[in-house]
Amino acid sequence: MKLIMSSASPFVRKVRVAAIETGQQGDIEEVPVATTPVKTADQVWAANPLGKIPALVLEDGRALYDSRVITRYLDARVAAGLYPEARLWDVLTLEATADGILEAAVLMVYEGRVRPEEMIYAPWVEAQWGKALGGVRAINDRMMDQLAGGLDMAQIAVGCALGYLDFRHPSRDWREPCPELAAWYAEFDRRPAMIATRP
């Protein structure tokens, strides 16, 4: 299998962490690309008609895309249990919350990186931060019990989301209003798979 990827992408990181945690990293060839929303790499277009990473090209040439599709595939491939049936809807909802945090945080980066400076709209950037922080606070205030217990995909997604906030938005403090989540993340971030995939 080939993973079309960029090590800075938090959605790629979710896939890479899942692959390591399920013992499949040796089955995946990583294919790094330089791509942006306004200048998409040819390899990305070839694998995903939406022009986004990650994309996982299977042995038969089919491509899977969207990080949640890829992680479900990797989980099913080895029956890893990252999506436990007894808690499936909670896991999927928490993963969606983490992905929503990432989407808002990535849009903030693109606003500063892709748009000309005179076109950057500060209220829009702040609105995206409000969405990201709202997701983080919701996890801290209402979902901490879902981060306990055996490893699942929701934990990986939340860990990657918080890591991305630190990576791309270090001047914004998500920890102060979310002490329980900050304590959880300090421990989770020490996992070898998280260390190995830090951008």
CATH number at residue 128: 1.20.1050.10
In angstroms, rounded to a whole number, what is the distance separating the alpha carbons of residues 102 and 168?
11
Domain that holds residue 95: 85-191
Mean pLDDT computed over 163-181: 97
Residues 62 and 104 in one domain: no
Q: Which residue, of 17, 51, 78, is where some domain finishes?
A: 78
Query: Which CATH number is 49's domain given?
Result: 3.40.30.10
- Span 58-68, pLDDT tens digits: 999 999 999 99
Examine the domain organization and report whether 68 and 114 are in the same domain: no
Count Cβ atoms below 10 Å from residue 129 Cβ, excluding itself. Answer: 18
The number of folded domains in the chain is 2
Question: Does residue 38 form part of some domain?
Answer: yes
Determine the pLDDT at residue 36. 83
Query: Each residue of 74-113: pLDDT tens digit?
Result: 999 999 999 999 999 999 999 999 999 999 999 999 988 8
